[in-house]
A and B are shown apart, each in its own frame.
Chain A
C-alpha cells in the first residue's frame, strides 16, 4: 500500500516571522491568515496530500499563495513549522541534517523558479552538479550530463556559462541538472514560466514523454492553469496558503470546490483538458447484431433516430446502420443485418481531447461514438453536447446538426406490419 505513495504531507504549516508556533495553534483553532497580524506570514496552512509514485502532481495558485514555500518544505529547504512530510519510510521534517542531505542526494531533486544555476560553472558542470555531489567519478558524470544536456536540446552549449544563455535555455539547464541527478522525485517550481509559449509547449510535452519513459514522480508548481491541466494527473489548487481543492483536471473543471476555483478555471481552454469520456452521453439506443433489421428499425423508430450503432454481445463496436437501409432489408424480407452495417463509424477513444473531436464529429453521420481500449462502445458525443461544453447555444447547435431526419414512424410501422403479415417476422419480435 505505502509503496505506491511517493510522498505524503500531513498537516503541513509554514509560518514566517515571530511566534510561528503560537500562530500555528491559532490557525488550528480556526483563525484566518489575516488575524495573525503583520509580523507573521502564514505561507502554508494545513496542507495534506499524497503523491503517488509516477504521478505528476501539480500545485497551482496565484502569486503569493504559498506554492514555492510549500515545495520548499517538501525537501526541507524551509523547515516546516508544523506537520510532517514523509518520503517512503523517511520523515523529512524530523530528519537529522546528514540524513536529510542523503535523501536529497538520492531521492529528490529540484528545478528552481529562478534557475539558481551556478554562474561560475559551465553548462555541463552545472548539469553534472547533482551527480558530483552523489560522488560519481568525473568521466562518468560528464558523459551522463552530456546525454541529458542533449535531451533538453542544449547539445553544443556544454562549455558555455549560464550568463551566455537565454532565460529559456538556462531553465533547460536547470531541468537537465535535476534530470541528471536521476532521483525518483522531481520538484519543479514554475520550471517553464520563463519560456516562451512555443518552447514551453515543447518542454511540457517533453516532460510528459520523459515521465512516461522514466516514471518519475513529479511535483510541479505553476500559476498557469492551462499548464496545470495539461501536465497534471492531479491538481492541488492553493489560495492564501491553503489547499482549497485536490482533484484531477476534470474534477477541477467540472466540479470546482468553491467560487474561487470556479473563477480560476473560467478561462481555461476546456477543449484541451476535457476528454471525450468526460462529455459523452449514454447512447439513446444501440442494437446488437443479432437483433436483425427489424429490431434495429424498431429501435430507431422508438427513439426517432435515422441511424444506430451496431455492437456485438460484448459491446464491441462493429459499425452503424441507417434506417433507410434497414427499411429496404425489411421490405425484402432479409433477416441478416450484417450486410448493411457500415464500418465507417469514426468512433474515438475515450481519452481523446475535445479539441480533437470536432472534425470526427462533423464527419460522423451519428453522434460521435466513444470506445474504450478494447473497442467497446461506452458512449456517444452528440454535436449538441460538444458545442454546449464550449458554452455555445444548444438551439443553434441543433440547427447546425446535419443529421438526416428519421423516416416517419408511420412508414416504419407499415413496413413492419407488412413483414409480419408475410410471415417474415413473428409478432413478439416486434414488441
Chain B
C-alpha cells in the first residue's frame, strides 16, 4: 500500500467547493477591492506628477523634518526619471488598499486576542501559519477565488501581511502596565472605556510598529503579486524576469526600494512626538462626549469641604 496524504487534493477540493458555493461572496469582495483600488489609484494618478511629488514632500517635511522632505522629493523624481512613475503609483495604491484592509482586520483580532485567552490560543497558530507559508503560495488560492488581476493581489497581500498587526496589537495591549489598567477598574471604568482610554493609547507604540510591519510586508507582497497580473512595479519585475531585461529589472527594483524606504519612514514617524501629539489629541478628544446621558453625575456630598481646605492651606502658608 502506498503511503500518501492527499493534503493538496483536499485543499483543492475545498477551494473548488468554496468557489462553487460562495462565488457570490468572492465576486462581491472582488468588486469592493477593485472599487477601493480604483479610487486610491485615481488620487495618485490623476493630478500632475509634480503636484503629487510636492504634496508628498510637504507631508514628509511635516512628519519628520526637512531631510525627509528632500529625500522624498529626490526619491520620487528618480522614479519619474526611470520612467516607472505610473507603475509606482499603481503599486502604491495596491499597498495602501491592502495595508488598510490588513490593519482593519488585524487590529480588532489583536484586541480580541488580548482580552481572551481562548481566542489568543486559536489565533496564534493561525498567524504562525499565515506568516511562514511561502508568499507565492497565497497566489494560488487567490487566483482560484478572484481570477487574474488586482483583486487576487490584494487578497493575497492582506493574508500575508496581517500577522504582525495581530501579534503586535495583542502584545501591546497585554504589555500595558497591569496596575494602570487596575486603576481604571478601581475607579469604575467599564471595559470599553479602559480599552479606549488606557489600553489602546498605551499600546499605541506597539500597534504602530505592527502597522509599519503590515505596510512593509504589503509592499513586498505587492511585488510578488505581479505574477498574478496585479500590474505596477511587480508587473515590471515579472516582465524583466521572464525576458531577462536587466535595465528594466533594476529600474523597477530601485523604484520598489525607494517606495519602501519612504513608506517605512512615514509609518515610523507615527511613533514620534509630532504624530503622538496628533494621535494624543485624537484620543483625548474621544472621551469628551463619552458620558452616557442617563448617568448620574458627581459623587460629591460636600463640595465645599475641599475648597475650605484649600483656603485653609493658603492661610497657613501666608502666615509668617
A109 touches B186 (CB 8 A): yes
Query: Which chain B positions have C-beta within 8 A of A183?
Result: 299
- Is A144 touching B306 in the complex (CB atoms < 8 A)? yes
Instruction: Enumerate chain B residues within 8 angstroms of A132, measured Cβ to Cβ.
Output: 287
Report Cα–Cα, A109/B308, bound state, in Å. Answer: 21
Residue of A nearest to B193 (CB): A133
Segment with Cβ contacts to A, from B59-67, B195-203, B218-226, B261-269? B195-203
| C-alpha spacing A64/B202, complex, angstroms | 29
Contact A116 B187 (CB under 8 A): no
The 8 closest A-B pairs by CB, nearest first: A105-B188, A104-B188, A116-B179, A116-B183, A110-B186, A135-B291, A135-B295, A101-B188
Do A134 and B297 form a contact, CB below 8 Å, given A75-B186, A151-B309?
Answer: yes
A393 close to chain B: CB less than 8 A: no
A residues less than 8 Å from B306 (CB atoms): 144, 147-148, 151, 179, 182, 214
Q: How far is the CA of A147 from the CA of B313 in the complex (A)?
A: 11
Assuming the contacts A106-B299, A151-B310, A213-B305, asked whether A133 and B188 have C-beta atoms less than 8 A apart, the reply is: yes
Give the docked Cα–Cα distance between A187 and B202 (Å). 25
CB distance from B314 to the nearest CB of A (A): 9
Task: Give the size of the chain A interface in residues (CB under 8 angstroms).
Answer: 49
Q: Which residue of B lies closest to A122 (CB)?
A: B284
When distances are taken between beta carbons in the complex, the residues of chain B under 8 Å from A182 are: 298-301, 306
Q: Would B187 and A112 count as touching, CB distance under 8 A? A: no
Contacts of A129 in B (CB 8 A): 183, 187
Q: Besides the contacts A75-B186, A134-B299, A136-B297, what 19 more A-B pairs have beta carbons closer than 8 Å?
A: A101-B188, A104-B185, A104-B187, A106-B188, A109-B187, A112-B183, A116-B179, A116-B183, A118-B180, A130-B188, A131-B298, A133-B187, A135-B295, A137-B291, A147-B306, A182-B299, A210-B309, A213-B308, A214-B302
Instruction: Provide the residues of chain B in CB contact with A119, threshold 8 Å.
Output: 180, 202
Residue in B183, B288, B302 whose beta carbon sits within 8 Å of that of A118 in the complex: B183
Q: Indicate whether B303 reaches chain A with its CB closer than 8 angstroms.
A: yes
- List B residues at the A interface (Cβ < 8 Å): 177, 179-180, 182-183, 185-190, 193, 197-198, 201-202, 280, 283-284, 287-288, 291-292, 295-303, 305-310, 313
Query: Is A430 on the interface with B (CB-CB < 8 A)?
Result: no
A140-B298 Cα distance, complex, nearest whole Å: 9
A-B contact count (CB 8 A): 111
The answer to whether A116 touches B180, judged by C-beta atoms less than 8 angstroms apart, is: yes
The residues of A that contact B182 with a CB separation of less than 8 Å are 72, 77, 112, 116
Which residue from chain B places its CB closest to the CB of A103 in the assembled complex?
B188
A342 to B125, CA, bound (A): 92
A117 within 8 A of B: yes
Q: Is A21 an interface residue (CB 8 A)?
A: no
Instruction: Say whether, besides A120-B280, A131-B298, A150-B310, A144 and B305 are in contact (CB < 8 Å).
Output: no
- Which of B292, B295, B300, B307 has the most chain A CB within a 10 Å cutoff? B300
**In the assembled complex, how far is the CB of residue A84 from the closest CB belonging to chain B, in whole angstroms?**
19
Complex CA distance for A120 and B299, rounded to whole angstroms:
25
Q: Is the CB of B303 within 8 A of A144?
A: yes
A25 within 8 A of B: no
Cα distance, A136 to B298, chains bound together (Å):
5
Say whether B202 contacts A120, CB under 8 Å: yes
Alpha-carbon distance A140/B291, docked complex (angstroms): 14
B177 touches A137 (CB 8 A): no
Please indicate the chain A residues that have their CB under 8 angstroms from the CB of B296 in the complex: 134-135
Which of A107, A110, A209, A210 is close to B183, meaning CB atoms less than 8 Å apart? Answer: A110
In the complex, whether A114 has a CB less than 8 A from a CB of chain B is yes
Question: Is the CB of A351 closer than 8 A to any CB of chain B?
Answer: no
- Bound-complex Cα distance A213 to B179 (A): 30
Cα separation A72 to B179 with both chains bound (whole Å): 11
Chain B residues near A114 (CB-CB < 8 A) = 179
Q: Are A101 and B190 in contact (CB under 8 A)?
A: yes
14 residue pairs bridging A and B, Cβ less than 8 Å apart: A75-B186, A105-B187, A105-B188, A109-B186, A115-B179, A117-B180, A119-B202, A120-B202, A133-B193, A134-B299, A135-B291, A150-B313, A182-B306, A183-B299
| One of B188, B202, B297, B309 near A137 (C-beta < 8 A) | B297
Q: Which residues of B contact A137 (CB under 8 A)?
A: 291, 297
CA distance A305 to B307 in the complex (A): 55
Q: State how many angstroms separate the Cβ of A184 from the closest Cβ of chain B.
A: 8
Contact of A147 among B202, B302, B310 (CB under 8 A): B310
Contacts of B180 in A (CB 8 A): 116-119
The smallest C-beta distance from B76 to any residue of chain A, in angstroms, reads 35
Residue of A nearest to B183 (CB): A116
- The answer to the question of A138 belonging to the interface, with a C-beta cut-off of 8 Å to chain B, is yes
How close is A197's CB to chain B, nearest CB, in angstroms?
21
A417 at the interface (CB under 8 A from B): no
| Interface pair B309/A102, CB less than 8 Å apart | no
B307 CB, nearest partner CB in chain A, Å: 6
In this assembly, does A308 line the interface, its C-beta being within 8 Å of a C-beta of chain B? no
Give which listed residue, A77, A140, A144, A179, contacts B186 with CB less than 8 A: A77
Inter-chain CA distance A144–B313, complex, in Å, is 16
**Complex CA distance for A140 and B299, rounded to whole angstroms:** 12
Q: Which residues of chain A from 191 to 246 have a CB within 8 Å of any chain B CB?
A: 209-210, 213-214
A181 at the interface (CB under 8 A from B): yes
Q: Whole-angstrom distance from the CB of B284 to the nearest CB of chain A?
A: 8
Chain B residues contacting A75 (CB-CB under 8 Å) are 186
* Residues of A close to B313: CB separation below 8 A: 150-151
